[in-house]
Chains A and B, each alone.
Chain A
Amino acid sequence: MKRTLLSMVLVIMMLSVLLTSCGQAPDTTKPDSSVSASSTDASTNEANAASATPADTQKPVKITYFNTSAEVNTMFENMFKKYHELFPNVTIELIPTAVGEGQQEKLQSLFAAGNGPTFMNVDPANVIQYQDKLFEMTMENAPWLAQASDGAVEGGTFGGKILGAPWSVQGYGLLYNKRVVDKVYGGAFDPATINTRDSLKAFLEKIEASGVPATMLHGANWSMGGHYLTLTYAVQGPKTTDGTGFIDKLKAGTAKIEDSPIFQGYMDTMDLLVEHNYNKADPLVGDFNKDVQAFGEGKAATFFMGDWTWTSMTTLKNVDQDYGFIPVPWSNNPADYGNTQIVMVLPKFQSIDKSQNTPEQTKAALDALGWMMTDPAGQQFFIDAGFFMPYKNVRTDVKYNSMTTAVADYAKNGKTINLGCFSYISGDAWTQTGNLMLKYISKAATRQELAQGIDDYWKTVK
């Protein structure tokens, strides 16, 4: 009996230890459960803030920042360190994500757990998804938005509300290697001479005749679906609503994509590109680093890609430095929209949460955002990282890399395709219709099957 009692006591003790530790766990993590996800630098900063400014009368604010541009986590980290030095009351904690990590899922779980970040750098599709939770910026509460380039604020406006502040511009089209092309042309080649499909055809054939594969297609669904196929929606008209209107018709089944001359035109151009593809033997390899390397070494003269290629290019040795952009013409009429333009897109937006953060936190985030976007000290971080910011007060003496410069030149001349409808196309569309495009370029599907598949896809989207 005594022994039973003893063992009972022991069991109860063990149980109570177990239960109390279970009970305590959430308590210790709850006040700032994002700590675990944040960098150690940020948390030491926070400790400094607490000890360094005890006499300060203003209440210290701690806010969090969710970043989906994984390649520049360090840039944001340094930026926030600097901001904390200037404004010791505000501590910004970075919630970094990794390339290839489930970023959307991470954001969802943060919001689902009631720990939504105070402000964040996200895709336009996220802004639409979370629009009920986001803080509306106006010219009154965010006067710095007046510095934004023309059209940039409209890009971040959803349902009439400014929910996202633009911060970088990217462009894509047919990148060309200047050294290779100039050699074939025996002098400086003028990309403006390519404004019809026939002129593109002549160009590709001329390059091919010199022994260099004329172009390269990246066999991944985001490139073929997200970028190439999206052109057929965007080029429906210069306004965002032209593109989204067309998509709405596809969803309702009142229009068929195969009836659009623009779709047919772009696919004719695609046939041309497929014929001259560097990856022709095995078009679906889709190894980005390999493709960038080959393009940088001049093994292919052109590459359907955007200026973000530069980030990968800088990590390589013995590659060319001078590149330009050629438009991707879809018809033989040089005046058609899309034939002389390249795509310009605002790929990410800065948004502020109002649903799970206090008004003080929201205000602090708004101030920090203004500093990041329009204060010279804040902008310098973006410039150093090679970003082209859509704000009028950005230093003009900055020398960008050749790809970004080429995009900026097209933008200056107003020769850009508005890819606004891109914001309304979810990642699922890239995957699904992109896969159909991959079937098409590897000749596993006919154009009729491709068109049918695209029509079918849109009908399933609510």
Chain B
Amino acid sequence: MKAKTKALNNAGLFVIFMGPALITFACVLLIPFLYGVFLTFTNYDPIKGTKDFIGFANFAAIFADKEFLGQFLKTLSYVFYSTVFCNLLAFLLAYLLTTNIKAQNFLRGGFFTPNLIGGIILGYIWKFIFANVVTQLGNSLEFKPLMTSFLTHPDRAILAMIIVTVWQYAGYLMMIYIAGFVGISRDVLEAAEIDGATGMNKLLHITIPSMVPSFIICLFITISRGFMAYDLNLALTNGAPYGATRLASMHIYQKAFQANQYATGQAEAIVLFIAVAIAAVSQVLLTKKLEVEA
């Protein structure tokens, strides 16, 4: 009898404390998501008001859409390069800014600032820089590669996006890495020093392994944000030149809202979701294995 009341009590408490969060989560995330999945099996069109079941036709349409596949591959390479360079630069900055150099705090603040500017504004600023400042510089130096805008050549425009992404996120990731550096116990480092480990050895065998949690977070952030990049893509290139820099998110948006193929767009969004989930989760699982107990 008493156990039963206790279970009831527990259930009641659970509802009281978790209920609101669960209901909100279900309303704004779970239900829309499941409904979204459902829509991919229909020929949904909000203007015409159709919503008939058509099976896997939308998914078949994705694999017939060569453009989407091309853009998906382009997104993969964008994610790869921006992840690598973001993390390399951020790690390097964090390393330098934990060596007690002069103006350390000022520099930390400076590198972090780009992250406080929204992607759209950032895109417009860099668009101006690439289109006007860089070309002006190229003209006055008579240096040919800089004379034409970065944004008018397919490969260089992707490069421009990677540059801006690195610039935007490196400072943010740097903060996480700094926390990682600071968190390494002095005892372990000292012990290593006594054992005769010097600069590079210390970094490779002590610092990096103990910073695996920081790497997990940073890689997760860069990979998932890279896949979902939209604001920067829109403001900086908007797909220019001739749609060559349209990343997956932008393609999906255009498919749904400009070509008015809502259900196909939604199906592509689901495919993107699965891809991001696989990439991010497998990354976390793989790097988790490298974690060491300090």
Residue of B nearest to A219 (CB): B152
Q: How far is the CA of A281 from the CA of B153 in the complex (A)?
A: 12
Contact segment of B79-87, B173-181, B238-246: B238-246
Given A8-B16, A435-B242, A444-B242; A284-B257 close (CB under 8 Å): no
Does chain A have a CB within 8 A of B20?
Answer: yes
Residue of A nearest to B13 (CB): A8
CB of A203, distance to nearest CB on chain B (Å): 28
**A15-B20, A285-B149 as given contacts; A428 in contact with B254, CB under 8 Å:** yes
Contact B241 A112 (CB under 8 A): no
Q: How many A residues face the partner with a CB closer than 8 A?
A: 35
B47 x A129 contact (CB < 8 A): yes
When distances are taken between beta carbons in the complex, the residues of chain A under 8 Å from B17 are 11
Given A102-B257, A221-B242, A442-B241, A285-B47 contact (CB < 8 Å): no
How would residues 5 to 32 of chain B score, 1 for a CB under 8 Å from any chain A CB and 0 otherwise? 0000000000011001000000000000
CA distance A436 to B241 in the complex (A): 10
- The reply on B140 being an interface residue by CB < 8 A is no
B 30-48 contacts with A by CB, 8 A: 46-48
- Among A255-285, those with CB < 8 Å from B are 281-285
> Which residues on the B side are within 8 Å of A386 (C-beta)?
none
A11 to chain B: which residues have CB within 8 Å?
Answer: 16-17
Confirm or deny: B258 has a beta carbon within 8 angstroms of a beta carbon on chain A: yes
Contact, CB under 8 Å: B242 / A438: yes
Q: Mark A101-131, 1 if CB is under 8 A from B, else 0.
A: 0101100100110000000000000000110
Whether the pair B259, A285 counts as a contact (CB closer than 8 A) is: no
- In Å, the complex CA distance between A18 and B152 comes to 52
A84-113 with Cβ < 8 A to chain B = 102, 104-105, 108, 111-112
Q: In the complex, are the beta carbons of A287 and B131 less than 8 A apart? A: yes
How distant is the Cα of A427 from the Cα of B254 in the complex, in angstroms? Answer: 10
Q: CB-CB < 8 A to B258: which residues of A?
A: 104, 426-428, 431
**A108 partner, pick from B152, B257, B259, beta carbons under 8 A:** B257
- Of all chain B residues, the one with the shortest Cβ separation from A438 is B242
Collect the chain A residues with CB atoms within 8 Å of residue B154's CB.
444
Do the beta carbons of B20 and A18 come within 8 Å of each other?
yes
Give bound CA distance, A104 to B253, whole Å: 12
B257/A435 in contact, CB under 8 A: no
Chain B's closest residue to A107 (CB) is B47
Residues of B within 8 A of A427 (CB): 258
Contacts A221-B242, A285-B149, A444-B242; is A12 near B46 (CB within 8 Å)?
A: no
A108, B46: Cβ atoms closer than 8 Å? yes
Answer whether residue A132 sits at the interface, using C-beta atoms and an 8 A cutoff. yes
| Complex contacts, B260 vs chain A, CB 8 Å | 129, 426, 428
- Chain A 403-447 per-residue mask, 1 if CB under 8 angstroms from chain B, else 0: 000000000000000000000001110011011101100101000
B240 contacts A284, CB within 8 Å? yes
B147 contacts partner chain A, Cβ-Cβ < 8 Å: yes
**A370 near B: Cβ within 8 Å?**
no
A102 / chain B contacts, CB cutoff of 8 Å: 257
The answer to whether the Cβ of A378 comes within 8 Å of any Cβ in the partner chain is no
- Chain B 122-152 interface mask (CB, 8 Å, partner A; 1/0): 0000000001000100000000000111011
Contact of A286 among B20, B147, B240, B254 (CB under 8 A): B240
Do B243 and A15 have beta carbons less than 8 Å apart? no
CA distance A111 to B45 in the complex (A): 12
Using Cβ atoms and an 8 Å threshold, which residues of chain A touch B48? 132
Beta-carbon contact of B148 and A281 below 8 Å: yes
A130, A281, A285, A287: residue with the most chain B Cβ atoms closer than 10 Å = A285
Of the candidates A12, A132, A221, A284, the one whose C-beta lies within 8 Å of that of B16 is A12
A442 engages B257 (CB within 8 Å) = no
Instruction: For the complex, give the distance between the alpha carbons of A286 and B151 in Å.
Output: 10
Do residues A112 and B46 form an inter-chain contact, with CB atoms below 8 A?
A: yes
A373: shortest Cβ distance to chain B, in Å? 26
A282 lies within 8 A of B149 (CB) = yes
Q: Which residue of A lies closest to B9 (CB)?
A: A4
B259 touches A428 (CB 8 A): yes
A326–B219 CA distance with the chains assembled, in angstroms: 57
CA distance A428 to B258 in the complex (A): 5
Residues 314-349 of chain A: 1 if any B CB is under 8 Å from the residue's CB, otherwise 0?
A: 000000000000000000000000000000000000
Residues on A with C-beta less than 8 A from B47 are: 108, 111, 129-130
Q: Are B131 and A111 in touch, CB under 8 angstroms? A: no
Selected from B151, B243, B257, the residue in CB contact (under 8 A) with A104 is B257
Please name the residue on chain B nearest to A432 by beta carbon: B243
B102 to chain A, nearest CB (A): 42
Question: With A and B bound together, what is the CA distance between A102 and B256 in angstroms?
Answer: 13
Closest-CB distance, A163 to chain B (whole angstroms):
14
A284–B149 Cα distance when bound, in Å, is 9
Q: CA separation between A436 and B48, bound complex, in Å?
A: 30
Residue of A nearest to B16 (CB): A11
Docked complex: B254-287 residues within 8 A CB-CB of A: 254, 257-260
Instruction: Give which listed residue, A15, A129, A436, contacts B242 with CB less than 8 A.
Output: A436
Docked complex Cα distance between A226 and B149 (Å): 24
Cβ of A454 to closest chain B Cβ, rounded Å? 13
Complex alpha-carbon distance, A15 and B240, angstroms: 50
**A287–B20 alpha-carbon span in the complex (Å):** 50
With a cutoff of 8 Å between Cβ atoms, the chain B residues found around residue A12 in the complex are 16
Among all A-B residue pairs, the 5 with the closest Cβ atoms: A435-B242, A284-B152, A428-B259, A282-B148, A438-B242
Q: Can you list 29 A-B pairs, Cβ within 8 angstroms, ordered by A?
A: A11-B17, A12-B16, A15-B16, A15-B20, A105-B257, A108-B257, A111-B47, A129-B47, A130-B47, A132-B48, A221-B242, A282-B149, A284-B240, A285-B131, A285-B151, A285-B152, A287-B131, A427-B258, A428-B258, A431-B243, A435-B239, A435-B242, A435-B243, A436-B242, A438-B241, A438-B242, A439-B242, A442-B152, A444-B242
Where the two chains meet, the residues of B that have a C-beta atom closer than 8 Å to any C-beta of A are: 16-17, 20, 46-48, 131, 135, 147-149, 151-152, 154, 239-243, 254, 257-260
